[in-house]
């Protein structure tokens, strides 16, 4: 009988079973662990894991929070894992260092934590972990025998490893200005890759891993193991809905292509040469062609129409007073000019006569006036502060410096040593157990390092005395962690060893091998200067004893690329506190610096070569230089004084040598010149205007040039004059003064106006010089036409009475009746030889061609004159600072620090405000930090050397709830440092989705002061006290953020042009940040600040300043000359053009002689305008008042009568004094005074005494008929009619 109805038969059952087998997996692997729990101490506080090959165990609920925090991917079901709560806590502790540096890029940290979570807790451990070594362990708690794992293999997918590395390779460490992997890879960033990074993290020698974990990379199964190859997140992907991708700064693929510097402007070339050279050459050739064609044409015309070939070219239009012809009607302008000229003549004639008749009252009044002015010396103030000398209070850099000093404190004072080891040799280090040999430079020999440490300790112990107090380095140094850590900041390679001989000697090894020593520690620290554990067997910290990192590019020199071990020099920098408006504290620093300098000058160690400088060094050396050059300047002036005293007299015979000499008059004239300088200083001292070094050195030279010229003109004109019949001495001197004083007044008043207008300059040095020079020239003229005229009258009376010069009570032996008219040899030379020869028809075209050629050359090279002032030029040749500058340029690898300052007013508590500034995830791609980072990517163009340190990004990392950094006591709410072990310390923010977001509003300000007071420690390297305590200005009782800065470094800057370009580029970057932040219309902005900006800002505008000052000077000279020449506009044009040619040619000399354009040379250029007036105005005025028949004759007469006075008064006087300056020890004197003064005098003399007379002979103004008739009337019936020239 069959079975029950509906029950399946045996065949059906077999079929169902077969189908079930087909639908089931081929192999079902149960979840299995390789470890569980901890057992046995590996080393220190590090423990082994217990071997366990059973199934995953359900995690106690007490570990749920940790699992959710660390490994949310494993938090499902009953949370069965291969780790217990202790292992989770160990994992959290071990992840603190990577968390602080990598969590700013969420996807990077997500991948990294995935790697460790799978290793520690994955329920499928047995698939990719293979235990290869264990040791027995007896558990005293459970009283069981267990096994401790001492080595295992971790099979990791190559894809996973590479993608994790790619997500992390760009992440920045903001406080260290380096890539985060440089701190976590055990190698330099450029040598780090996916495999050696993971190998390093799992190597027990790194100090973090308790036992060896051997990573094996493969995407395919190996030895029956399935590599862990979880899905990863790229740095441009979001981890979840609440976080964005990594920032541009931490992920290059978010940024797109690397920024490229703009192309350099193409040079302006013609035919492959500088276009300006070609244009000026063509212009000059064109001028010569046209000019010589005209000269030749006129010469041919003259040969056809005139008998004599020597007839002047313009004789057909000449007007001669002696011809007694009237060639036309006198114009209104000519009549006005004559009246003005006559008014000046009559005024000075009357005044001269008065001074000679009343010498005692005039001299007494002059002495009283001088005494009153000089009494201002009681209030004299001297400016030696370089900032005040070179930077105007209203300048941008000065305002920015004051803003920085006010909000962050002044930039610290710097004491620096550069040390070489000339007797040491390179050392070869062979790493244990394997690895390529590493060369170490001579100064990195351990014996040398010990000697340098002894030197460093001796410097720290230097004691100075100030105001009966002992001052040591600790009293004045920068100690960023004070009062918790009072160690001074010493940027030295020895601080990798905490300035300790014992740490330097620390090594680990046995009788056969050294496993780790100072070589190992050094190689790690130069890669990770902020590390608190070098992860070698030494486990020594790299962080300096002062609590901050020591960057290798600041303490090592002479290495190639990033091979710091090849260094050939050590650099030690001691930052000393500067003080804002606290002179007593600054004086303490100065006292210590003085002892520091003396100590190093006397330090003797044959194994060390030391170059050094202190903050006060440059100012000290400039003052020493000034004192040493006093003798040079005094000799220079003595040479000029002796020449003036002798040259003023005209000796008739040897018997009358002591009678006819004018030594006493010369000395009086010199004293008048110097008194005018003293009066100028005294007057402005009354008004609180400080004196500068330029005023003391330059103005006496200038006033001597101008004043002595006037003395020679007065005295030599009187010597050549013959007293008229019945004329008294006072009338004769008055008449002579009436003739020459208008010319003196013209030159002096032109210079005074030009100098006073020069005070419109924004450059303090130029403005101060112009102020004092203008007043000195004005007073000098007043004293010359008063006091000197009276003294001249007294001297002539002495001479007429046959009394000796100086010893006026003694009579001479050789009697002579009256003072005879005399003409000096120099006058006769100019009159009879030089003037006629120069103005010959064949000579004049040659002169014009040569001078226009010189002008063309100078114009062609003017744009090549360098701008700036090499600071080494301000030092004496024998200064120790010179050697320091030389070594600085040779060995330094980082430029000055630069701070990008965000002024008060920005809202940091809002998400929008944070995104404008920060550089981490979620921040704007054009934020402040990101733009500075981008600039550092093209450092060769921007001169920004490194990514900026960003306090706000480190703050966000510090405050994250996953980090152990931000904790508070749950009872008081006070900050609890990460190193404190106290159960009442809880994290600042909850480990929720909201808590993981950036703090905003009140939260931001609640925790920021804690961050800024937290000292870095092994459990939290992100504490902001050392790095950022001065970077954030907390205001309103720490409830708001005021001004802040983001610091980086310029690239190495060697020349003035480098400094100028660096400042310009930094300002461009800051302006662009201000614009992209959209704060341009608000009352705050971003600006860059570096300590050198205040000195170099002048060079950004110096070309415009030079053009402005020189044009103002030329314009004022033109106006004054036009008026005082009796409205002779064309004559004023000729004078101005000649002076302009002198100035342009000065630039040509500057290019030829390597003189750069700066405040000193600009002062000299302004001064050369004044001296050029002296060379040109007297000859031009003599030409305009001459009544000879033709321009050639008038030019010859003007040159004959004024040329000798100008030549002897300025050229010879100055030449003697200038030559002495060549022997100065000061490079500034040699370059900016000797070279420029020599060029000034030679160019002035050649233009005034060669070019100008020739130019006047061609295109000088025609004779003023009104002046001619007046001259006829004045001289009619006298001997002077024949001799008339004025």
- Of the candidates 1237, 1248, 1101, 1252, the one whose C-alpha atom is nearest the C-alpha of residue 1167 is 1237
Residue 8: the pLDDT is: 47
Look at residue 27 in the predicted model and tell me its pLDDT.
41
Q: pLDDT at position 319, please?
A: 38
Beta strand 144-156 with 463-466: parallel, antiparallel or unpaired?
A: unpaired
Query: What residues have CB less than 8 Å from 257, skipping those under 6 apart?
Result: none
Q: Residue written as tokens 């405000």? A: 913
Q: Rounded to an integer, what distance in angstroms lies between the CA atom of residue 499 and that of residue 326?
A: 98
d(CA 338, CA 342): 6
What pLDDT, on a 0 to 100 scale, did the predictor assign at position 809? 63
* pLDDT reported for residue 317: 40
Q: Which two structure tokens, joined as six digits, stand for 1005?
A: 């300000």
Q: Which residue has the tokens 């309103």?
A: 1036
Contact by Cβ (8 Å): 1257, 1192: yes
Residue of 478, 453, 489, 458 whose CA lies nearest to 570? 453
Q: Give the pair of three-digit tokens for residue 559.
A: 């290495």
Looking at residue 1286, its pLDDT comes to 38
Angle 759-761-765 from CA coordinates, rounded to 5° = 80
Token pair for 981: 């072990």
Rounded to whole angstroms, the Cα distance separating 952 from 321 reads 88
Return the pLDDT at 320: 39
pLDDT less than 70: residues of the chain = 1-29, 174-177, 206-207, 305-328, 580, 626-629, 649-660, 694, 697, 701-702, 705-706, 806-824, 1209-1217, 1220-1221, 1224-1226, 1264, 1266-1267, 1271-1286
**Which contiguous run of DSSP H or E holds residue 1087?**
strand 1086-1089
Tokens read off for 1029: 């305590």
Give bridge partners of residue 569 from the DSSP assignment: 557
610 has which bridge partners? 419
Neighbouring CB atoms inside 10 A of 1138's CB total: 24
What distance in Å separates the CA atoms of residue 716 and residue 222, rounded to the nearest whole number?
A: 111
User: How many other β-carbons are positioned within 10 Å of the β-carbon of residue 688?
Assistant: 9
Q: Is 1242 exposed, middle or buried (0-12, 13-18, 19+ CB in 10 A)?
A: middle
Alpha-carbon distance 115 to 228, whole Å?
8
| Short-list 251, 238, 254, 248, CA closest to 106 | 238
**What does the alpha-carbon distance between residue 635 and residue 1236 come to, in Å, rounded to a whole number?**
19
How far is CA 285 from each of CA 282, 336, 846, 856, 923, rounded to the nearest angstrom?
5, 42, 14, 10, 63
| CA atoms within 13 A of residue 1139's CA, in its CB half-sphere | 35
Q: What is the largest CA-CA distance in the chain?
A: 184
> Mind giving me the DSSP string for 902-931?
E-TT---SSHHHHHHH--STT--TT-HHHH
């Amino acid at each position: 009988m069959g079975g029950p109805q509906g029950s399946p038969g045996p065949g059906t059952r077999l079929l169902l079973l077969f189908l079930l087998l087909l639908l089931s997996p081929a192999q079902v692997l149960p979840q299995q662990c390789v470890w569980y729990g901890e057992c046995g101490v590996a080393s220190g506080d590090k423990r082994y894991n217990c071997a366990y090959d059973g199934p995953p165990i359900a995690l106690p609920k007490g570990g749920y929070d940790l699992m959710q925090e660390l490994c949310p991917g494993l938090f499902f079901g009953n949370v069965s894992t291969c780790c217990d709560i202790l292992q989770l806590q160990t994992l959290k502790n071990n992840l603190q260092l990577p968390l602080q540096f990598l969590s700013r890029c969420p996807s990077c940290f997500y991948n990294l934590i995935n790697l460790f979570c799978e290793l520690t807790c994955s329920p499928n451990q047995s698939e990719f972990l293979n235990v290869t070594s264990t040791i027995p362990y007896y558990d005293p708690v459970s009283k069981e025998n267990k096994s401790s794992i001492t080595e295992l293999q971790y099979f990791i997918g190559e894809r996973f490893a590479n993608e994790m590395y790619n997500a992390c390779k760009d992440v920045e460490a903001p406080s260290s200005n380096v890539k985060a992997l440089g701190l976590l890879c055990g190698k330099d960033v450029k040598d780090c890759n996916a495999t050696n990074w993971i190998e390093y993290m799992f190597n027990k020698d790194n100090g973090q891993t308790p036992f060896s974990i051997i990573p094996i990379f493969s995407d395919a199964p190996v030895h029956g193991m399935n590599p862990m190859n979880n899905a990863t997140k790229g740095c441009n992907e979001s981890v979840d809905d609440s976080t964005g991708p990594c920032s541009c700064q931490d992920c290059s693929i978010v940024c797109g292509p690397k920024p490229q510097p703009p192309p350099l402007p193409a040079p302006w070339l013609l035919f492959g040469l500088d276009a300006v050279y070609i244009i000026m050459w063509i212009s000059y050739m064109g001028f010569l062609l046209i000019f010589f064609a005209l000269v030749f044409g006129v010469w041919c015309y003259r040969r056809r129409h005139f008998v004599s070939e020597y007839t002047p070219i313009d004789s057909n239009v000449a007007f001669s007073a002696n011809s007694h012809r009237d060639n036309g009607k006198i114009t209104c302008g000519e009549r006005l000019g004559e009246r003005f000229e006559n008014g000046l003549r009559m005024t000075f004639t009357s005044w001269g006569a008065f001074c000679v008749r009343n010498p005692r009252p005039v001299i007494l009044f002059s002495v009283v006036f001088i005494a009153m002015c000089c009494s201002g010396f009681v209030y004299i103030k001297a400016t030696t502060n370089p900032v005040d000398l070179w930077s105007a209070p209203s300048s941008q850099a000065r305002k920015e410096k004051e803003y920085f000093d006010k909000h962050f404190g002044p930039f610290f004072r710097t004491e620096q040593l550069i040390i070489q080891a000339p007797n040491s040799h390179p050392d070869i280090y062979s790493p244990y157990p394997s690895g390529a040999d590493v060369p170490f430079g001579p100064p990195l020999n351990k014996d040398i390092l010990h000697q340098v440490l002894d030197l460093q300790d001796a410097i720290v112990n230097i004691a100075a005395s100030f105001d009966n107090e002992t001052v040591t380095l600790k009293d004045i140094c920068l100690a960023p962690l004070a009062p918790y850590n009072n160690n001074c900041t010493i940027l030295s390679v020895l601080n990798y060893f905490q300035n300790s001989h014992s740490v330097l000697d620390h090594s680990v090894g046995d009788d056969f091998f050294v496993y780790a020593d100072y070589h190992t520690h050094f190689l790690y620290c130069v890669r990770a200067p902020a590390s608190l554990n070098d992860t070698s067997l030494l486990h020594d910290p790299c962080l300096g004893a002062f609590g901050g990192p020591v960057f290798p590019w600041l303490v090592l020199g002479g290495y190639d690329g990033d091979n710091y071990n090849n260094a050939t020099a050590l650099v030690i920098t001691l930052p000393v506190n500067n003080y804002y408006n606290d002179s007593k504290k600054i004086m303490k620093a100065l006292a210590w610096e003085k002892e520091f300098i003396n100590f190093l000058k006397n330090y003797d160690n044959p194994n060390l070569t030391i170059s050094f400088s202190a903050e006060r060094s440059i100012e000290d050396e400039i003052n020493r230089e000034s004192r040493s050059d006093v003798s040079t300047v005094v000799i220079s002036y003595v040479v000029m004084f002796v020449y003036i005293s002798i040259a003023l007299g005209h000796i008739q015979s040897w018997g009358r040598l002591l009678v006819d000499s004018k030594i006493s008059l010369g000395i009086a004239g010199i004293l008048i010149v110097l008194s005018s300088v003293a009066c100028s200083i005294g007057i402005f001292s009354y008004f609180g205007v400080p004196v500068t070094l330029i005023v003391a050195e330059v103005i006496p030279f200038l006033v001597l040039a101008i004043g002595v010229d006037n003395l020679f003109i007065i005295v030599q004109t009187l010597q050549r004059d013959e007293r008229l019949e019945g004329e008294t001495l006072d009338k004769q001197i008055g008449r002579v003064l009436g003739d020459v004083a208008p010319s003196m007044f013209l030159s002096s008043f032109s210079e005074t106006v030009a100098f006073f207008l020069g005070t419109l300059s924004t450059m303090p040095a130029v403005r101060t010089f112009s102020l004092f020079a203008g007043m000195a020239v004005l007073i000098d003229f007043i004293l010359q036409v008063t006091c000197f005229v009276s003294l001249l009258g007294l001297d002539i009376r002495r001479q007429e009475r046959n009394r000796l010069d100086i010893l006026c009570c003694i009579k001479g032996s050789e009697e002579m009746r009256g003072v005879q008219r005399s003409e000096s040899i120099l006058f006769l030379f100019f009159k009879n030889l030089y003037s006629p020869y120069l103005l010959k028809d064949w000579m004049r075209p040659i002169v014009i061609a040569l001078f226009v050629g010189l002008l063309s050359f100078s114009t062609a090279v003017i744009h090549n004159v360098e701008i700036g002032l090499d600071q080494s030029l301000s030092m004496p040749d024998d200064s120790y600072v010179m050697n320091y500058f030389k070594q600085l340029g040779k060995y330094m690898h980082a430029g000055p620090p630069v701070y990008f300052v965000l002024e008060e007013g920005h809202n940091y508590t809002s998400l929008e405000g944070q995104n404008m500034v920060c550089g981490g995830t979620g921040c704007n791609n054009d934020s402040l930090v990101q733009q500075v980072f981008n600039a550092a990517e093209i450092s060769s163009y921007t001169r920004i050397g490194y990514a900026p340190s960003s306090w706000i990004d480190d703050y966000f990392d510090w405050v994250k709830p996953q980090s152990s950094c931000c904790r508070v006591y749950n009872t008081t709410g006070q900050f609890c440092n990460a190193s404190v072990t106290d159960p009442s310390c809880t994290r600042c923010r909850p480990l929720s989705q909201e808590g993981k977001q950036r703090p905003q509003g009140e939260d931001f300000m609640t925790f920021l002061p804690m961050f800024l007071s937290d000292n870095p420690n092994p459990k939290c390297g992100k504490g902001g006290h050392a790095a950022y305590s001065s970077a954030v200005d907390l205001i309103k009782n720490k409830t708001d953020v005021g001004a802040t800065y983001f610091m980086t470094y310029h690239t190495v800057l060697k020349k003035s042009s480098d400094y100028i370009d660096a400042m310009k580029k930094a300002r461009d970057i800051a302006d662009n940040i201000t614009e992209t932040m959209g704060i341009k219309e608000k009352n705050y902005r971003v600006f860059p600040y570096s300590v050198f900006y205040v000195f170099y800002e002048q060079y950004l505008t110096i070309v415009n300043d030079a053009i402005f000052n020189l044009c103002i000077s030329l314009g004022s000279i033109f106006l004054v000359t036009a008026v005082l020449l009796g409205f002779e506009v064309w004559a004023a044009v000729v004078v101005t053009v000649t002076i302009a040619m002198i100035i342009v040619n000065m630039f040509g000399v500057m290019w030829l002689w390597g003189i750069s354009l700066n405040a000193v040379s600009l002062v000299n250029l302004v001064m050369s305008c004044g001296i050029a007036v002296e060379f040109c105005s007297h000859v031009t005025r003599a030409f305009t008042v001459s009544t000879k028949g033709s321009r050639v004759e008038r030019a010859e007469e003007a040159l004959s009568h004024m040329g000798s006075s100008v030549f002897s008064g300025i050229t010879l006087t100055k030449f003697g004094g200038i030559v002495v300056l060549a022997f100065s020890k000061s490079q500034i004197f040699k370059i900016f005074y000797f070279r420029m003064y020599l060029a000034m005098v030679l160019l002035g003399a050649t233009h005034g005494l060669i070019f100008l007379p020739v130019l006047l002979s061609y295109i000088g103004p025609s004779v003023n008929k009104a002046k001619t008739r007046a001259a006829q009337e004045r001289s009619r019936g006298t001997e002077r009619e024949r001799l008339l020239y004025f």
